[in-house]
Chains A and B, each alone.
Chain A
């Protein structure tokens, strides 16, 4: 089946620094990937749609200058949390449409900003 690899699985960073999260489709090409954020005991909130070769489309209320998304190839999308603060601590998950038009999810990244 389709596999999406997400790295790192967890990261701790200091307040004010930037963190990059990678999302790769391993056995299929994904022209579109999605980035979600999930706070404890809450559901997944769509942050943005990442389009290969073009700018990401952000959901209302998501700061595009804070959450930089780059989709440079058909198999890789990255999310960079810039100038991270403790309130950015969350579980970040990517997903991609796979060959059968389902949605395959990465394993998630637990970000803790101290």
Chain B
């Protein structure tokens, strides 16, 4: 089976740094994605990791450890517009994309 876990909710202050963790157990692994989703909208792509290590893209970075079944999304210099749900998703094979439970992030002034 597939199991992808994230914290349900997180809060942070504008300008701060927040790390959203994701642990996964999947039958097969072909990469891990992070998406941002605002309420009532489609998810938008943030990052993709298939090899161990850190991928940095502007204010957002994503880390993967395949041996530990672990990933995190790091958001720096938080802005109010970063308040959204952040979805970790894994590809157990080359086809499907399975989403984690999602983390609702609220940024306060």
Q: Interface size bucket, A side?
A: 20 to 34
Q: Which residues on the B side are within 8 Å of A102 (C-beta)? A: 45, 48
Q: A residues bordering B, Cβ < 8 Å?
A: 32, 34, 36, 41-46, 49, 91, 93, 95, 97, 102-103, 105-108, 110
B96 near A34: Cβ-Cβ < 8 Å: yes
Q: Interface size bucket, B side?
A: 10 to 19
Taken together as a complex, chains A and B put the C-alpha atoms of A97 and B33 apart, in Å, by 13
Q: Mark B17-61, 1 if CB is under 8 A from A, else 0.
A: 000000000000000010000001111110010000000000000
B42 near A103: Cβ-Cβ < 8 Å: no
> Given the known A-B contacts A41-B104, A44-B87, are A107 and B97 also in contact in the complex, defined by CB atoms under 8 Å?
no
Taken together as a complex, chains A and B put the C-alpha atoms of A66 and B42 apart, in Å, by 24
User: In terms of DSSP, what is the predominant structure of the interface of chain A?
Assistant: strand
Taken together as a complex, chains A and B put the C-alpha atoms of A49 and B85 apart, in Å, by 24
Report B95-109 residues with CB < 8 Å from chain A CB: 95-102, 104
A108 near B42: Cβ-Cβ < 8 Å: yes
Taken together as a complex, chains A and B put the C-alpha atoms of A45 and B100 apart, in Å, by 9
Q: Mark B68-109, 1 if CB is under 8 A from A, else 0.
A: 000000000000000001010000000111111110100000
A43 near B99: Cβ-Cβ < 8 Å: yes
